[in-house]
Chain A
């Protein structure tokens, strides 16, 4: 097993493209190291991207923020600007692991690890965040929602990797929120999760919404029907009931040691309701 610390994105892309064996990108390493230790993967080459200049930067751009792929949860959490604009995204990232894990874990790693229960991803999907991807043929942009395709699988090509994630600007009177259910209070993996991002008009009517669910299907799921359920409403009981129903209907979970199909389906709706109410109040609405 070899270890490389390239200094440019081009160098990194070249190293991966040339490698005949198995490669693993290393960001924070909080998934990779665990997988190495348990013998789950035995890569031939590990490419650590943390030392590429710019990859640990958070930069304002077009009223939003570009977040380097190697920015840790702790760094993101300390950024006042991102917190204010996308509190739901930040709270998802901050739920990852513990203080120690936060010092290393990244949003990009959380996304590319491909877990259906990844805590940062529903918030990013609800935010319609855009990933910037470097590859042998240069850079391209791709919505975060299109990256995961199944447990441990992404749409990234072999020599591609994320260099940043862009969180767009948003209108006034917008809010987002993320909630997960775990049987404990921390250090656990989501059994069901929901992120809601919405925008209100002056009267408190929802004019735009995105709802994403985690841990209830093979990938994080954007649920347009759930967003439709609250569009044009003020989160009255009927809208909430329709939201919950749409979320439960969108679930396609598994029965496993972490939770039953029945439980996940039911709780996904409950979390969506609670997240929607938080997002609504963050957007300045009062129910």
Chain B
């Protein structure tokens, strides 16, 4: 009895009960497809979140003012000296002087660059008849481009000269450029932002929007130019600090903390009046969270695979019980145990393999679609695992009852009702 004949027997056995075989296959198909798809969705969402974070720039710390939990007034006159009325007597805004202090190589050697940032909300830019409310108008230093990982696709960045001279030049994000200029090349043209004319010197590379915010709906201009015309020379919105390397972010954070604590008069347990967002730790936290999310999805999927496996087990049990008499006949005419076992194992393997492979196909097709705003990313190990588990279940639970039946004496099997 060769393999091909065993295969033929198994096929005949399965086709004898088409509906049942189809339903069992379907159970496995759903289980396998669910595992692969859900893991892919988990992986996809995790990757997109990671990408969003990475887009903010690696190695960067973002310092923003924080007034929560503060006890004191807002920089009231003469309040600077007293530190006896609570954890914090006075919350100070971030200033250009803070930024300059951070740029001091001696005090903060791990800091590679410091970019003070002001943002003007609801700035409307117009060019000829077109107008567009810019999502985020940022006034900053040229170092911001590198810190935030933004590159120019057309034209140039603005430079330190432009900052010193407070030139009204601007680098646009692709969304803004498209809204205002359509197919025209914006470089060299003038836009008017809230009535103030700015010359466009460059257009940023598209960074692709994933999630809530369009990262391309931005415009960048020299800090003093924005302050002069739009926000006024008050406090800073935030300070972006780039560390000298990925491993230096922690030291950089410590140095920044030390400098700012000293400048803002924060000692001991007093709550700081600023907040430091560390991209590296943020990334870690988020990847941990998304990892948990993926595991959760995988667990749900694994349960459905298990249910599919129980389906196979059930079918094989029923099939073998139902066909014990047939097994008796086969043994009576001289079938060796191996041939009988082989036939049932082959049936179980075919069921789980056909179900498993179609499950993989369905999952492959499914990952081509965006599911709930997430582009699924296939994880090869999940494919191997799902297939392996489904075939393993088929072999084990198909093999067990078949082996039991094949071991019976022919007359025992023949007498089976």
State whether these chains interact.
no
Residues of A near any B CB (own CB < 8 A): none
Binding site for A on B (CB under 8 A): none
